[in-house]
Amino acid sequence: MSAVIEKIEIYEKNKTTWTHLDALESEAIHILREVAAECNNPALLFSGGKDSAVVLHLALKAFFPETLPLTLLHIDTEHNYQEVLDFRDRVVKRNNLKLVVRSVGESIRQGRVRLRYEDEPRNKYQTTTLLDAIREHNFDVCIGGARRDEEKARAKERIFSFRDEFGQWDPKNQRPEIWNIYNTRVADGENIRAFPISNWTELDVWEYIQREEIELPEIYFTHQRDVVIKNNLLVPVTTLTPAKEGDDIRRMSVRFRTVGDITCTAPVASTAATIEAILLETAQTQVTERGATRLDDQTSEAAMELRKKEGYF
Amino acid sequence: MSMNNSINVSGLLRFITAGSVDDGKSTLIGRMLYDSKNLQVDQLTAVEASSKKRGMKEVDLSLITDGLLAEREQGITIDVAYRYFATPARKFIVGDSPGHLQYTRNMVTAASSADLAIVLIDAESGVKPQTRRHLYLVHWVGVSHVLFAVNKMDKVGFSEDVYQKIERECVELAQSIGYSKIHSMPVSALDGDNITSRGDRLSWYEGPTLLEYLEQAPTVQDFSHLPFRFSVQRVMRLNRQNIQVNSGFDGADLRGYQGLVVSGEVSVGDEVVISPGGHRAKIKSILGASRRFIDSALPQESVTLFLDQDYDVSRGTLFTDVNNPMLSSNEFNAELCWFDEAPLDLSRTYLMKQMSKATRVRLEAINELVNVETLERTANHLSMCMNDIGQVSLKTQTALSFDSFKSNQGTGAFILIDEVSNRTVAAGTIQ
């Protein structure tokens, strides 16, 4: 009798400390382990952004204390903030990870990608470089940090998202994904994109970064930067995006909510120097993450869907 | 039920919308997000622009979840869209699912991870065949809680008589399918009556608003009182060469079993049965997601278990409660739902995936198919086509350990994969 009571007490104690972040973490670890167990050669897409930093952290936990049974892959636009590259290299070195970098610049020099004009944003051209890297290394699955709350096409995507031999996503014909039983099977040349943090929101990600004390590139926190305001977005003045004649350059306190190609990622006005302050801003924001920061999503109503159909992340 | 995706804490409710085409599922979600101030400025601006582009006078709230080009072209929902929102009371994950027969499998995908289903009924036309199909499948896939929302009350003059007639029909239908507790309410998703506020046109209705209801609905199933079941996802073999830097592990040879506690709980020192094989071993230690050793693990927790003895353990092996063994057989019956355009071929084998175990399976017989409109069951079928559901007999290549889906959803569920096309062609619940 006493044994039974004791057991219940332990359960009650544990249950009160089990939070929604624990549940999200457990789900993500389950997904990462399915990938490692069922796929031959998985890659983890690592850009140095906050979502991929969270996914990497989850992977280190999922396989702890074993080294990662996967390769990190960075599809480099060569339009990066140096802080992000430094962070990437620091994390790789500290954890002794295997990193493959393939750059859009290289694809351009090889003639695989043709820009319409110099310094054109390179986000969408990452697709070519990514598909080439998948072929070169024979990756059968690429783990990504995409979240369903980011964008309306992503809101539709499965956790294990099948891509055909041309890398294409067919949103009208996705595999059913029932309960937590995942179909990871692909034929040669085909690919799965696995999204372990599909069900996380921007707020969840920041709460988790706070709880786990995950390191991020400095530009996620407030800093002074020259910007020009265009269409309600803060366009940073950089060597790649110099100010034009007549631009009203302002020096502002800003931080980045997302990190991507310099030429199409905008910071937001912010004085948040700590994660606590970022959490407060995230809870109160009136604009979505991509809406406030991505110039390339606003070119058409279905920019993300069209990119994904071509093989984008 | 929430076996999928493991999110099962009281502060979070996962729900879906179900029901026939044009009964207003996407509009309902859009209305709820809009009225509860869960839409961001840029999302609203985009939807306003899209509505205008399509020549509409007012904002089309269904465009909020219908995010695909093809959906917007046709004004329908093709696949489930997940939305995340919160009120001061709790967080919500909502799956807005399609009503068309053709996309039934996408509704099932959404329902398989939901605690609750809102089944929409058009007040003008009442229960439709697809309403019956959805309700049947929502129950089959394990959603234990349904709410009928009788929508478009504005079209029937907010008539209490109309509502009550439909409510009676719904209660009868739900009971015949197997639901005991059934709730319903009148709403107008288009105008917002009884979604987040009551309005004054449904004065005869005395229950909660839809949002109030969702804020208080139970986030169902607690798997902690079920017998312990753990499915090995991956065997970790540690040696000096594959240890993370600064992990604190010294490189001694060690075998750990990574996986998910499917049900029940487990503590250090507990004796478990290893299945297949039937050997017994004790839990030597439990490594949690925290990267620390913990004394016990909860259902749906991803952990690494270490045993006090080495037996043959590989992916798909189960550790179970010594006092509550699982059933084990290579022949069993299941209620199967067929998803694929290519019909079931009795002469072929398929790949069956149950938790982390994969095995080849042959369908020995289709015992009966269910007519989901009449609930009649008929025998003598030679194949199953897309959206067919019925009882089948299966035979697996290797013996399978399982519980009935009724007693344990985690261990009683499986999917079938076509080994040639690699498509997920069916899902089943073991009887």
C-alpha B272/C-alpha B92 separation (Å) is 36
Residue of chain B nearest A287, judged by CA positions? B40
By the 8 A CB rule, do A67 and B236 touch?
no
C-alpha A59/C-alpha A62 separation (Å) is 5
Domain membership of residue B135 (yes or no) is: yes
Claim to verify: residue B158 and residue B83 sit in the same structural domain: yes
Claim to verify: residue B183 and residue B291 sit in the same structural domain: no
Domain membership of residue B119 (yes or no) is: yes
pLDDT in tens, A266-305: 999 999 999 999 999 988 888 888 777 777 665 666 788 8
A29/B40 touch (CB, cutoff 8 Å), yes or no: no
Claim to verify: residue B286 and residue B302 sit in the same structural domain: yes
Under the banding of pLDDT at 50, 70 and 90, the label for residue B240 is confident
Q: How far is CA A44 from the centre of its chain?
A: 10
Q: How many CB atoms lie within 10 A of CB B409?
A: 25
Domain membership of residue B4 (yes or no) is: no
C-alpha B159/C-alpha B166 separation (Å) is 11
Residue given tokens 């312990």 in the structure block = B228
Claim to verify: residue B340 and residue B303 sit in the same structural domain: no
Claim to verify: residue B373 and residue B294 sit in the same structural domain: no
Of A155, A156, A287, the CB nearest to B42: A287
The confidence score (pLDDT) of residue B44 equals 86
Distance from CA of B202 to the nearest CA of A (A): 32
Residue B425 φ/ψ, nearest 5 degrees? -95, -20
Residue of chain B nearest A191, judged by CA positions? B422
Domain end among B163, B194, B216: B216
Domain membership of residue B189 (yes or no) is: yes
> Mean pLDDT, chain A, as a whole number?
89
Domain membership of residue B264 (yes or no) is: yes
pLDDT in tens, B277-323: 899 999 999 999 999 999 999 999 999 999 999 999 999 999 999 99
Claim to verify: residue B72 and residue B208 sit in the same structural domain: yes
C-alpha B96/C-alpha B81 separation (Å) is 5
Beta bridge partners of A310: none
Please report residues of A whose CB lies closer than 8 A to that of B81.
152, 155-156
Q: Is the pTM of this model over 0.80?
A: yes
Please report residues of A whose CB lies closer than 8 A to that of B423.
175, 183
Q: How many CB atoms lie within 10 A of CB A237?
A: 17
Mean of pLDDT values over B30-46:
88
Q: How many residues does chain B have?
A: 431
Claim to verify: residue B186 and residue B240 sit in the same structural domain: no
Residue given tokens 């004796």 in the structure block = B271
Claim to verify: residue B238 and residue B331 sit in the same structural domain: no
Among the residue ranges A9-13, A118-122, A144-148, the one predicted with the least confidence is: A9-13
Beta bridge partners of B17: B96, B118
Domain that holds residue B279: 229-321
Question: Given a cut of 60, is residue A14 above it in pLDDT?
Answer: no
Domain end among B181, B216, B251: B216
Question: Given a cut of 80, is residue B386 above it in pLDDT?
Answer: yes
Please report residues of B whose CB lies closer than 8 A to that of A301.
46, 50, 69, 72
pLDDT in tens, B153-209: 999 999 999 999 999 999 999 999 999 889 999 999 999 999 999 989 999 999 999
Domain membership of residue B2 (yes or no) is: no
B4/A179 touch (CB, cutoff 8 Å), yes or no: yes
Claim to verify: residue B89 and residue B196 sit in the same structural domain: yes
Residues 6+ apart with CB under 8 A from B125: none
Question: Which domain CATH number covers B207?
Answer: 3.40.50.300
Mean of pLDDT values over A220-249:
92
C-alpha B44/C-alpha B370 separation (Å) is 43
The confidence score (pLDDT) of residue B250 equals 77
Q: Is A65 on the interface with B (CB under 8 A)?
A: yes
Question: Which domain CATH number covers B406?
Answer: 2.40.30.10
C-alpha B63/C-alpha B44 separation (Å) is 10
The confidence score (pLDDT) of residue A2 equals 30
Look at chain B and report how many structural domains it folds into: 3
Residue given tokens 């699955």 in the structure block = A141
Nearest to B63 by CA among B300, B288, B73, B16: B73
Question: Which of B84, B94, B295, B414 to substitute to test the interface with A, most A CBs within 10 Å?
Answer: B84
C-alpha B86/C-alpha B9 separation (Å) is 14
Of A11, A29, A199, the CB nearest to B224: A11
Domain membership of residue B194 (yes or no) is: yes
Q: How many pairs of residues across A and B have Cβ atoms under 8 Å apart?
A: 216
Claim to verify: residue B69 and residue B136 sit in the same structural domain: yes
Domain membership of residue B223 (yes or no) is: no
Claim to verify: residue B383 and residue B261 sit in the same structural domain: no
Domain end among B185, B216, B247: B216
Chain A from 4 to 23: CB within 8 A of any B CB: 7, 10-11, 14-15, 18-20, 22-23
Q: Is A175 on the interface with B (CB under 8 A)?
A: yes
Claim to verify: residue B172 and residue B30 sit in the same structural domain: yes
C-alpha A128/C-alpha A109 separation (Å) is 13
C-alpha B14/C-alpha B18 separation (Å) is 13
Q: What amino acid is encoded at B425 in this protein?
A: V
